[in-house]
Structure 1
Amino acid sequence: MTDRVGAFLAERTPRRALTIAAFLLLLVLFRQLLPLLVFFVAFERGLGAAAAFLAGRTRLPRKAAVLTVAGVVLLTVGGGIALGAGRVVRAVREARDLPERIGEIREHPWVKRLHEQVTDTDALVEQGKHYAGSALHYVSQVGHIVAYTIIGFIFAIVFHLERERLAAFREAIAPRSFLGTLLRWCGNVADAVSLTIQLQLVVAACNTLLTLPLLLLIGIPHVAMLMVLIFVSGLVPVIGNLASGAVLVFFAYQAKRWVGVSLMISLTFLLHKIESYYLNPHLTARHVPLPGFVLIVSLVIFEHLFGFAGLFLSFPALFVAGKIRSEFREEDEVEAAPGLPGGGSPTPSILTNRRARSPR
């Protein structure tokens, strides 16, 4: 009986179904630790790149380079906190009031006139208030963010100091084994997180830097609060720029009437096109060759299923699913290739080298 069960699970389809089920179970069980994973991946990739650069320029040992970079980061962050902690706290406090200020927009005479022509303006305002509140909720959770940041930073340092031992441990696991497959797929999740962070940080920084001069030119008040909104909204894929732009249009109307509205709409349109037709294609084309329509549909589905968090889960899910699908297809091609009668096993290099082609 045991032999039959083992033979059944060794078959390709049952083995894949069991592995996928276990992988999804792990994601569900540890979903609350997703913020920690994000910080760990960000620090791990950043420390690795900086330490490699420093070691190449100074010929320091890699571990010494890692510790040096970590020390510089700690000194920089500590100095920044000492100099600008008060401003950061004030900006966060102002940002907490943003959802209520968006809700007050419905009392503006312009919105009331618009309501006579468009009956669902209240729903639009509520949606904007909802997304702003959801986004800024994560910013306001300073305690959790600080804790996850510290733990993620410590994990990243330990990971690089123990990298050789971890690599040896991983190489000792058969690539096609159950544990080996799960480890490889977890690596795909880390790669998806890294790629998403890179993409959205670039988009958020671009939106913030290009919008700041216009805010100062129009004379919109509460610039610090709006800068937080623009940056946080820029971290939301696809719709973040449009959501912050819609809010900024109302503030621009209050400051400069229709001149401010025209300028803000033009900037929002320009930033959306830069994100959609330049930043996103250039940053993701090498890793996720999917049509834009598929990405948008995926965003809608994930937002419906998981709420605000679904906007962040859509792209990584597509990325990981694409990697798993490519792995299965590659495995099928190798097993069906001549010279492997009866369905042979793919060479370990096909699976182990996949990590080397992952985005960094």
Structure 2
Amino acid sequence: MERIYQWFKKEDVQLYLTLALLIVVLFFLRHFLSIILLITIFSFLAIKVTTRLRQWLPIGQVLATLIVYVVVIGLIALALSYAAPSLASQFSGIPHLIMRAINDHPVWDKQLDTWVNKALNSSEIMKHGQTAIETGLHGLESVGTAFSHVGVAVFLSLIFTASYGRMKRFGDAFLHSRFKHFFTNVYYLVRKFVLILGTVVDTQLIICTINTILMTIGLFILKMPSLMVLAVIVFILGLVPVAGVLISMIPLTLIAFASGGLWKVVEVIILVIIIHFFESYFLHPRLMASATDLPIFVTFMTLIVSEEIFGVWGLIVGLPIVAFFLDIVGVHPKPNDGPIMQQLRDDN
């Protein structure tokens, strides 16, 4: 019995038991995980920006938070008000481009007519069509839920960031309570994961922005139509590490073929390869080294498995989760880690 008691008193055993307990708690809170993750990401980015702002200006945390949120929300609203009409116009022109490309290729036009006639005469296709409509309606409902989650997360992250000093003192009180060893482990694990998650998201935003600018310039040189729509697609899909570039190939090549035929498709593919090469061998190693530096194969497997387990969120949190567990068990893929991983290493 004494051996069992001494085994449970080991620091690493208590740490892993605390981690297991946190996983169980998160399982019961799984319906709120999207809001929790959004609040964590927004708060991390907001605290980072407000900290830098307060280094430049002698202002308080509340005022700095209000300035950051008002500026960001104002810029988003301004961009949407100016870009929405152009986006709607360019989106409406895409079907016309595709139909014109089909009409310019009689073989494709004939094959498309064959597929349409077969679909209209097939009861199974119609049944699948009904299922697709139901799935689409469910997807619209999910979009509405996602917007509400974003709104709640923005509001709560605003409150958290504005009261960050008081929240920090409140959290420190747990570290001096009767269960200080337990809460010390909780703090260690949560802090480690938040640092990794926040750094990955922050870095991916930087990489995504640079890639979008370069891709937009390249598409402009290639005289691609619907440039603003393509830029939005590239940016949104670019938030998915590595795989986002490959997924963006589908709409890019489709519009390229509709506007300029096979040669335009080849030009776009070459452009994407150049941008992806620049990201993989220049941006990613230099910027993402401070968070995680997993091999490409491990990255793809992580994205596939995490998307199956967590849904769309898995594409964002999958890599931080793997990096977190690798760091917990002492597996370091790269000897020369960046400042974030070195900071976590110093905590051990």
Instruction: Compute the TM-score of the two structures, normalised by the length of structure 2.
Output: 0.70
Question: 1:52-100: per-residue Cα shift (whole Å, max 9, x none)?
Answer: 3344344x26xx1x22322322432454466444446557878999999
Alignment correspondent of 2:245 = 241
Alignment correspondent of 1:312 = 316
Whole-Å separation in 1 of the counterparts to 2:107 and 2:139 = 24
Q: Is the 8 A contact 2:306 2:315 kept in 1?
A: yes
Whole-Å separation in 1 of the counterparts to 2:90 and 2:24 = 36
One-letter amino acid of the counterpart of residue 147, structure 1: V
Alignment correspondent of 2:64 = 69
Q: Is the 8 A contact 1:47 1:69 kept in 2?
A: no
Distance 1:170 1:145, change over 3 A: same
One-letter amino acid of the counterpart of residue 200, structure 2: T
| SS, match of residue 323 in structure 1 | helix
Whole-Å separation in 2 of the counterparts to 1:111 and 1:100 = 19
Whole-Å separation in 1 of the counterparts to 2:50 and 2:71 = 16
One-letter amino acid of the counterpart of residue 319, structure 1: A
Q: CA deviation at 1:244?
A: 0.5
Whole-Å separation in 1 of the counterparts to 2:212 and 2:139 = 16
Q: CA deviation at 1:311?
A: 2.2
Q: CA deviation at 1:282?
A: 1.4
Distance 1:96 1:307, change over 3 A: farther
One-letter amino acid of the counterpart of residue 156, structure 1: T
Aligned alpha-carbon RMSD (Å): 4.4
Q: CA deviation at 1:258?
A: 3.1
Runs of 5+ unmatched residues, structure 2: 112-131, 332-341
Alignment of 1:1-360 (within 5 A): 9-10=8-9, 15=14, 18-58=17-57, 60=58, 64=60, 66-77=61-72, 79-80=74-75, 83-87=78-82, 141-158=146-163, 160-162=164-166, 165-166=169-170, 168-172=172-176, 177-326=181-330
One-letter amino acid of the counterpart of residue 19, structure 2: I
Whole-Å separation in 2 of the counterparts to 1:95 and 1:24 = 45
One-letter amino acid of the counterpart of residue 262, structure 1: V
**Count of residues in correspondence between the two structures:** 310
| SS, match of residue 172 in structure 1 | coil
Distance 1:37 1:241, change over 3 A: same
Question: 1:98-140: per-residue Cα shift (whole Å, max 9, x none)?
Answer: 9999x99997859959x9xxxxxxxxxxxxx9xxx99999877
Q: CA deviation at 1:216?
A: 3.5
Whole-Å separation in 2 of the counterparts to 1:250 and 1:56 = 48
Alignment correspondent of 1:348 = none
Distance 1:94 1:146, change over 3 A: farther
Whole-Å separation in 2 of the counterparts to 1:74 and 1:308 = 26
Whole-Å separation in 2 of the counterparts to 1:44 and 1:86 = 26
| SS, match of residue 162 in structure 1 | helix
Q: CA deviation at 1:51?
A: 3.5
Question: 1:245-276: per-residue Cα shift (whole Å, max 9, x none)?
Answer: 23201201211223421221111101211222
Whole-Å separation in 1 of the counterparts to 2:79 and 2:29 = 35
Alignment correspondent of 2:339 = none
Q: CA deviation at 1:164?
A: 5.0
Q: Which has the higher contact order (CA 8 A, sep 6+)?
A: 2
Whole-Å separation in 1 of the counterparts to 2:175 and 2:94 = 50
Distance 1:165 1:94, change over 3 A: farther
Distance 1:318 1:218, change over 3 A: same
Whole-Å separation in 2 of the counterparts to 1:241 and 1:15 = 42
One-letter amino acid of the counterpart of residue 49, structure 1: K
Q: CA deviation at 1:241?
A: 0.8
Kindly, what percent of the aligned residue pairs are identical?
A: 22
Alignment correspondent of 1:123 = none
Q: CA deviation at 1:277?
A: 1.5
